[in-house]
Amino acid sequence: MAKFKKIEEEKILDVNASMQGNLVFKDSVNLRINGNFQGSLECRGLLTIGKQAVVESDIKGENIIIEGKFKGKIEASKKVSLKNGCVAEGEILCPILEVEEGAFFEGKVKMLKDLLDLDELSQYLKIEKSQIENWINENKIPYLIKDDKVFFDREKIEEWLTLQSKK
């Protein structure tokens, strides 16, 4: 059963059930999965895969903690933490990876850097390069010029995406 608790204006969703499907949370939420989940998941805020959880998913999020079993792909804009006793298999893309002693991980990790070029931003946002170039020409997206090349600060892009989602 899923339930929301309101604590100091913080949204908390505690899922202790078996679910399948695609979940998208546009607003920041503290999501904890304690049961089984299959599908895709996109959320802002903190996602915790609890000790009893079995998750098979493609996940996009900010901060992700794995305590239970996970199989799939994770794209985290801030940090992924693999806790003692977790079993994770797949691909992790993130700027910071924390692995506790006793955590098990099999797969590949790509550490994201803070500055992205046009190709990397296109892959990161899953948007055609021509669309990003249009945004640059119209000054709709934050960018910087370094050595006559265009770069994008990951943090500023995340802030920009948050603003865009509220429009």
The band of 8, judged by pLDDT with boundaries at 50, 70 and 90, is: very low
| 3 vs 140 pLDDT, higher one | 140
- Looking at the predicted structure, is the pLDDT value of residue 67 above 70? yes
The pLDDT value given to residue 85: 97
Q: What is the mean pLDDT of the chain?
A: 87
Query: What's the whole-number mean pLDDT along residues 117-133?
Result: 90
Query: What's the whole-number mean pLDDT along residues 50-64?
Result: 94
Please state whether beta strands 54-66 and 149-153 pair in parallel, antiparallel, or not at all (unpaired): unpaired
The pLDDT value given to residue 69: 97
Query: What's the whole-number mean pLDDT along residues 11-38?
Result: 83
Return the exposure string of 11-49: e unless at least 16 CB atoms fall within 10 Å of the residue's CB, then b: eebbbeeeeeeebebeeebbbbbbbbbeeebebbbbbbb
**pTM listed for this prediction:** 0.67
pLDDT, tens digit, 9 for 90 and up, residues 103-123: 999 999 988 777 888 998 998
The band of 2, judged by pLDDT with boundaries at 50, 70 and 90, is: very low
The pLDDT value given to residue 1: 43
Question: CA gyration radius for the chain?
Answer: 17
Query: What's the whole-number mean pLDDT along residues 18-35?
Result: 87
Query: What's the whole-number mean pLDDT along residues 15-42?
Result: 87
* 130: number of Cβ within 10 Å: 9
In angstroms, rounded to a whole number, what is the distance separating the alpha carbons of residues 47 and 64?
5
Ordered structural domains, the chain, with CATH: 2-111 (no CATH), 115-165 (3.90.105)
